[in-house]
Structure 1
Amino acid sequence: MSIFHDHKKLFTAASLLFGTLTLFVAVIPSLYNQKNSVPLYGAIPLTEAQEAGRQIYISNGCVGCHTQQVRNVDMDKTWGKRPGIAADYALSTRKSIWQNAGTLMGTERTGPDLTNIGERQPSQDWHLVHLYNPRIVTPQSIMAPYPWLFEVKDKAAKGDIKVAVPEAFMKGQKGIVVATLDGLNLVAYLQSLKQVKLPDGTPDPKFLYKKEKKEAMASAAGVEPELNGSDLYAANCMACHQQNGEGLAGAFPPLKGSKVVLNDDSEIMVAIIMNGYNAQEQYGVMPAVGTNAGLSAEEVAAIMNHEKTSWGNNAKKVTVEQVKKLMELAKATAPVQ
């Protein structure tokens, strides 16, 4: 065939072939998905600050270690209440014809998935400390620190957001650590990452390959399943209050020896878990962990009993029935959002 002896014809044919493949395999399906995928009701477009934070997220290569996709397998229930669907990414559009920054789904989970991090960890204080040096709040973390998102000042100016960095992590520097605008914008973007609830009446996509649960086995045997308070504490509380219950000075209060935890009247403790807390200037704002995570009375009771009997604490345990009543009371007194 003469085409193989004529480089112009050969390269022209190859270019037409790959151009046609690109058109039908990538471009047309992409345009189809963009046309037929609309944002879910309740999805909120990014603010200017959040969009700026998204660009910081991209420029720092966060997508290399963190995904934003909940797959339809049982193990991904940790990252979201349902598998992801196309509509979840409908607001993520290209910035220009040359910039493909539409979705940040990622391909690796060297770090945890961030699809719902705004619900799992809404605390600005925690994110700032974590970005400055992840080992402050998670000693086993392999994530790189991002100190260039912060400044060390002799004195904080009006409006500065101070970061509670322990002296051991200051590397000999003296002063007060404050977040830069880039750092605050990145945190704003992370706080915006929340999985939108599907409209009422819409069936949730199902997780596949479900594992047999111990609770189901216990129920079949006629035994009331006992929840592991230590595991629940690790999943919902440990990131701030630490494994040893000592918290982090200037950021998160200790539970070890806490008057609230040791009090036999647990009304305040349940209210804090369900409604959050913002009454002490020396600590950051605690989010409504129980409400955000949808914790049941059984789960809240297990967490409370773990905290009441750990790290040298020796307080009276609570029952599920007591917690149910206190949760109703906390719901009635919750601040209006």
Structure 2
Amino acid sequence: MEIYNDHKKLFTAALCLFLLLTFFVAIGPAFTSQNNNAPLPGSKPLSSLQTEGKAVFIAEGCVACHTQQVRNVEMDKVWGPRPNVAADYANITRTDVWRNTATLMGSERTGPDLTNIGTRQPGDDWHYLHLFNPRSVVSQSVMPSYEWLFDIKDYAWPNDVVVNVPDDFKKGISGKIVASHKAMALVAYLKSLKEVTLPDGKPVPLFLYGKTAAEKAGGATSKGAGTKSGPDGEALYATNCQSCHQGNGEGLVGAFPALKGSKVVLDDNAELQVTIIMKGYNGRVSEGYGEMPPVGTNNNLKPEEVAAIVNHERSSWGNNSKKVTVDDVKKIIASFDKPASVAAKK
């Protein structure tokens, strides 16, 4: 054929074929994939501070031990309310025209999955303590300390974020422990990691290998609710409360208050205790304790689960106060919407 003897025609034909194939094999599918995997409604792009925090997360090698993918297996239910879908990662865009960005899904879990860490741990104080010394909040943690993300100052400026580290974990430090800009950015990024609720009308993906309906109906004996079947108060406490208030209920001096011997827990009237779980609490900030987030609301705890947690706290570590019923909890939660709410009275 003449085309093989004419290098101009040959290279022109090869170039046109290459461009045609590039469109059909790469560009076309990329546009289709982008349109089919739009970000979920309610998801938000990272702010500038959170983007800086993601860079710190990468630089410190956090992805080596922490994943950001809730797999479709029963054992992953503790990390999120549903398995991840492609749309969960659709909001991850290029850092700039020169740099791509990583999804940070990870492949190993030496530490827990962080997909929903912003919901599980919404408070700043816990994150700063965990970064400065992981053993201060999780005694069995193997995570290294990231002390270099904090500054030691004799005096703190008004805008400084002072971390209240218990004396047992200060390692002889006498000054103020202040979070650096990198630490604040990293915490902002971690708090942004939250699973978004699927749009209304969309079925929530079910975890594989789940319990049968009969097994779920049987349930485990609740240690907190005092009924034959129902939520396990001890397990719920471990999931939602233990990281701050500790397994022994003694909290951390200077960081998180104790529940053992607490006046709130020992009060026969459970209104304040339930209110704190559902709406958070900042009444002891002046004593150096951080503000407690609304754990019950953030984690979508049902009245049955709140009752189980309350009763576990009321019957553990030497506490022995009046148990609450699910109906009691429902009435207290219902009162939040009334003008003369418990919070207003307090």
Deviation (angstroms), 1:47? 0.9
Deviation (angstroms), 1:164? 1.4
CA contact (8 A) 2:281 2:293 kept: yes
CA contact (8 A) 1:67 1:112 kept: yes
Q: Which residue of 2 aligns with 1:153?
A: 153
Deviation (angstroms), 1:208? 1.4
Distance 1:151 1:66 in 2: 25
CA contact (8 A) 2:233 2:311 kept: yes
Farther-moved stretch of structure 1 (175-184 vs 164-173): 164-173
Q: Map of 1:1-337 to 2, 5 A cutoff?
A: 32-96=32-96, 99-212=99-212, 214-217=215-218, 224-280=228-284, 281-282=286-287, 283-330=289-336, 332=338, 333=341
Distance 1:76 1:41 in 2: 24
State the secondary structure of the residue aligned to 1:233. helix
State the secondary structure of the residue aligned to 2:152. strand
The letter of the residue matching 2:176 is I
CA contact (8 A) 1:152 1:178 kept: yes
Q: Which residue of 1 aligns with 2:4?
A: none
State the secondary structure of the residue aligned to 1:162. coil
Deviation (angstroms), 1:163? 0.7
State the secondary structure of the residue aligned to 2:234. helix
Unmatched runs of 5 consecutive residues or more in structure 1: 1-21
CA contact (8 A) 1:93 1:103 kept: no
The letter of the residue matching 2:300 is G
Deviation (angstroms), 1:317? 1.2
State the secondary structure of the residue aligned to 2:130. helix
TM-score, length of structure 1 as denominator length: 0.86
Deviation (angstroms), 1:36? 3.1
Q: Encode CA deviations 1:240-272: one digit per residue, 9 max, x unaligned.
A: 111111111222111111111100011111110
CA contact (8 A) 2:219 2:230 kept: no
Q: Which residue of 1 aligns with 2:3?
A: none
Deviation (angstroms), 1:156? 1.4
Distance 1:265 1:242 in 2: 24
CA contact (8 A) 1:73 1:209 kept: yes
CA contact (8 A) 1:164 1:249 kept: no
Distance 1:181 1:249 in 2: 26
Matched positions, count: 313
Deviation (angstroms), 1:313? 1.2
Distance 1:57 1:250 in 2: 27
Distance 1:89 1:40 in 2: 9
Q: Once the two structures are aligned, what percentage of the paired residues are identical?
A: 57
The letter of the residue matching 2:296 is G
The letter of the residue matching 1:319 is T
Q: CA RMSD in A?
A: 2.5
Distance 2:43 2:151 in 1: 34
CA contact (8 A) 1:274 1:330 kept: no
Farther-moved stretch of structure 1 (121-130 vs 23-32): 23-32
Deviation (angstroms), 1:158? 1.1
Farther-moved stretch of structure 1 (236-245 vs 33-42): 33-42
